[in-house]
């Protein structure tokens, strides 16, 4: 397995460190060709959606996440459940020759995996919600109350309250 590592952009973090991720991947899918750590910026109109990872049959890309979106439980769930789940899916995709990548996102206290858009691009928030309705994979839930998701929801509620007659 090759490992590629790029330092996260300022203000962003990875949900798992390199050695822990490598150990989990080896335990689940030792034939994985590439485990990488990358900073990828989401589509402009979806900056409030934490994109956690992208994976396919031969690679797993762990994406840096803006620090305000990260709660302790999000880290815990990513390490204990999400990464192993992705490895198992990637292994299955490898066995059945399925090549379309999936992206893992955190939305409303739930971690989902949805297919990428045409051209293997990251889906925007609206497309993610549509894919979830049509059967996106629910990986697990997490407590987002001390993350930016809760802060954004709270700010939106405050804006609505402030503009109400």
pLDDT tens track for 94-143: 999 898 999 999 998 999 999 998 878 889 999 999 999 998 899 999 99
pLDDT in tens, 130-148: 999 998 899 999 998 755 5
Q: Residue by residue, what is the 3-state secondary structure of 72-109?
A: HHHHHHHHHHHHHHHHHHHHHHHHHCCCCCEEEEEECC
pLDDT in tens, 24-56: 999 999 999 999 999 987 777 788 899 999 999
Give pLDDT, residue 149. 47
Token pair for residue 146?
Answer: 């001390």
Q: Cα separation of 116 and 131, whole Å?
A: 10
Residue 17 makes CB contacts below 8 A (sequence gap 6+) with none
Give pLDDT, residue 156. 44
68 CA to centre of own chain = 15
Give pLDDT, residue 48. 87
pTM (2 decimals)?
0.85
- Cβ atoms of 104 and 111 within 8 Å: the answer is yes
Give pLDDT, residue 23. 97
């Amino acid at each position: 397995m090759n490992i590629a590592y790029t330092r996260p952009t300022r203000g962003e973090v990875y949900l798992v460190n390199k050695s822990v991720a490598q150990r989990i991947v080896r335990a689940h899918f030792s034939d994985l060709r590439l485990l990488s750590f990358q900073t990828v910026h989401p589509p402009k109109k979806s900056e409030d959606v934490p994109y956690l990872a992208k994976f396919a049959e031969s690679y797993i890309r762990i994406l840096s996440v803006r620090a305000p979106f990260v709660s302790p439980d999000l880290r815990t769930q990513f390490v204990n459940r999400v990464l192993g789940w992705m490895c198992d899916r990637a292994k299955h995709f490898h066995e059945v020759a399925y090549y379309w990548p999936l992206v893992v996102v955190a939305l409303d206290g739930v971690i989902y995996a949805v297919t990428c858009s045409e051209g293997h691009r990251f889906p925007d928030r609206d497309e993610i919600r549509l894919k979830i309705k049509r059967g996106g994979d629910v990986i697990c839930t997490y407590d987002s109350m001390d993350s930016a998701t809760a802060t954004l929801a709270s700010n939106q509620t405050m804006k609505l309250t402030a503009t109400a007659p």
